[in-house]
Amino acid sequence: MTKTDLTNERFGLLVVVRELDKRGYHRMYECRCDCGNTITVRQSDLKRRTRSCGCTGGRPRTDDGIDRGYPRAHERVRAARGPASEHECIDCPAWADTWSYVRGCPDERSGPTKPCDPESAGSPYCEHIEHYQPRCFSCHSRLDRASGMTVRMARAMMLNRM
């Protein structure tokens, strides 16, 4: 097998600077992140999953520097209104388990609940915290089923938000 030179190749936010000494059977590379950090990465990780030095926290960033996406929207709701577990469910007398997005926002978006997880693709959310209500698991599942979401998708989303 011929050796591939990855110098100056881009992988997400990382650019390969140079190849380093091998560690066991693994080819290692020095990479510079767009944020300025330098990290050491295995070749196999570059080709599979490592896309930054960790500066993005696994979240995509937009040109305006604001974190976007389903997980970040829920983080903003928790930061502004506290954990859902401190509120009563809006539909029943039980305590809430999660924040539930109430559809209808004109700025509604759709995206994965977890980065790089095709199973969670297409989950609706919006950036406005007033479109979220506290719900227990069972009421949240009922709402998701009514909106056409599968039980499996709803359960995965709720567990991811905790």
pLDDT tens-digit series, residues 56-93? 665 555 544 455 677 778 888 888 999 999 999 999 99
Angle between helices 151-161 and 137-146 (to 10 degrees): 140
- C-alpha to C-alpha distance for 32 and 10, rounded to whole angstroms: 10
Average pLDDT, the chain: 78
> pTM above 0.75?
no
CB-count burial class (<10 Å; 0-12, 13-18, 19+) for 129: middle
Using the predicted structure, report yes or no on whether residue 161 has a pLDDT greater than 80: no
Q: How many residues does the chain have?
A: 162
Compute the Cα dihedral for 60, 107, 119, 139 and give only its sign: positive
User: Which amino acid makes up residue 106?
Assistant: P
User: Which amino acid makes up residue 33?
Assistant: C
Residue 142 CA, chain-centre distance (Å), reads: 24
List the domain boundaries for the chain: 1-58, 70-161
| 21-40 per-position pLDDT tens digit | 988 889 999 999 887 888 99
State both tokens at 80: 């502004």
